[in-house]
Amino acid sequence: MAPKRPPTTAEKGKKKATGGTSKRPRVETTDARHYLSEGHEDRFKTSISHWTIWGERKLQLDDFPHSELYNLIDICGWSKIADTPHKVYSQLVHEFYANFNQDIDIQGTEHYGQTWVRGKWIMFTPRIINSYYEITTDDIHPLPSIQDMGKVARFLYGRDDAWPLPGRDFEHSKLTDSLLILNVFVSHNIDPTRHRTTINDAWARLLYHLAHGRKIDLGNYIYTLISMLGFQTDKRHTTIFPALISGVCEAAGVQISPAEPEMKTKGPINRFALENARRHTARPVGAMPVAQDQPPEQHPAVPQPAAPQPATPPADNTAMLRQILEGQAEHTRLIVATRTEMRAMQQDLATLRARMDSFRHAQMN
């Protein structure tokens, strides 16, 4: 047998790799289950995985020092909402919606106020959202029942001849610069369910309300929007508040692998974004929308009549929100009520069966 070759200078000190070791770094993965049941996983595959994501954006406040939005952030203490959003984990966000607790609003249920994410139940309520954003519910102003829409139009358009409108809705491109940037901010960070090129009466009232520095219960408002989406099952929706959901989940101790990819988000809302919004919304009738500036269309378009229709003022904040959501909140409340009634009927049926069993047992004896 040939003698062993002595090691070279370069080979000295090196460890030999064995069959049981590898020099490749291991990719850490979470051990938690990603779906509460096969039904939830199927919901993810058939619908939610097809949803696009519409994320929050940082507001470059220094670009708008004299705007209503600057005053609103200062008065309401909404600085964290305007700050750099939390990094977004798109897979985690889609899992959040896929596993959303359908009984989250039903008092008396085992997981009331909670939803399931990666193997654990986490609290998810308006209070949690307010806490995450570091805001309070002090000095809340209910959304007003404004009947004089002419006053709203003159304020939003900055013109005395703004009323009556030529059509049913307000036009995004005709807002003053100050109101336009407020609308862009609201469409990303407060209510990302609306189409920005046209503004209905309810949305116009909301802008009017916020532009005057009047604080709303933001936690309740955002929670309602998220829970509405959490009850949806079809493909025609857009994932909203991904940064908020990622941040709340991480704060609650949900497992996130260091190797989990982060979604690239849009740049800040600044002067360039204002010019972009003005340019792309003032397009000819029938032109195709621009993808990067067109907000998600959550609902089918409503045919617009030639003449403006009188607005029915909402009675309170809840009614205004229902109108903004185009009846979805009312629909969900009916679903919750129906589920509650069905549970009560099931309990009554179980009680009746128990009594019948007891009666049969007594007859046999």
Looking at per-residue pLDDT, the higher value among 133 and 363 belongs to 133
Mean pLDDT of 196-216: 90
Residue ranges of the domains in the chain? 38-282+310-326, 327-365
Sorting pLDDT into bands at 50, 70 and 90, what band is 350? Answer: low
pLDDT digits (tens, 9 = 90+) for 12-49: 554 444 444 444 333 344 567 899 999 999 999 999 99
User: How far is it, in rounded angstroms, from Cα 182 to Cα 82?
Assistant: 11
pLDDT band at 324 (very low <50, low <70, confident <90, very high): low
What is the 3 state secondary structure string of the chain?
Answer: CCCCCCCCCCCCCCCCCCCCCCCCCCCCCCCCCCCCCHHHHHHHHHCHHHCEEECCCCECHHHCCCCHHHHHHHHHCCHHHHCCCCCECHHHHHHHHHCCCCCCCCCCCCCCCEEEECCEEEECCHHHHHHHHCCCCCCCCCCCCCCCHHHHHHHHHCCCCCCCCCCCCEEHHHCCHHHHHHHHHHHHHCCCCCCCCEECHHHHHHHHHHHCCCCCCHHHHHHHHHHHHHCCCCCCCEEECHHHHHHHHHHCCCCCCCCCCCECCCCCECHHHHHHHHHHHCCCCCCCCCCCCCCCCCCCCCCCCCCCCCCCCCCCHHHHHHHHCCCHHHHHHHHHHHHHHHHHHHHHHHHHHHHHHHHHHHHHC
Question: For the chain, how big is the Rg over CA atoms in Å?
Answer: 27
Contact between 211 and 129 under an 8 Å Cβ cutoff? The reply is no
pLDDT tens digits along 169-190? 898 889 999 999 999 999 999 9
pLDDT digits (tens, 9 = 90+) for 62-87: 999 888 999 999 999 999 999 999 99
Task: Pick 321 or 18 by higher pLDDT.
Answer: 321
Residue with tokens 């989406």: 229
Rounded Cα gap, residues 87 and 246, in angstroms: 7
**How far apart are alpha carbons 196 and 273 in whole angstroms?**
14
pLDDT digits (tens, 9 = 90+) for 276-315: 877 765 544 333 333 344 444 343 333 333 333 443 333 4
* pLDDT value at residue 147: 85
Lowest-confidence range among 6-10, 96-100, 207-211, 234-238?
A: 6-10
Question: What are the distances in angstroms from CA 336 to CA 109, 273, 322, 332?
Answer: 12, 40, 15, 6
**102 vs 297, higher pLDDT:** 102
* Among candidate residues 188, 159, 199, the one with its CA nearest the CA of residue 281: 199
**pLDDT at position 297, please?**
39
Residue 233 — pLDDT band, cuts 50, 70, 90?
confident
Q: Which residue has the higher pLDDT, 281 or 115?
A: 115
User: For residue 88, which phi and psi values (nearest 5 degrees)?
Assistant: -105, 125
Model confidence, pTM: 0.70
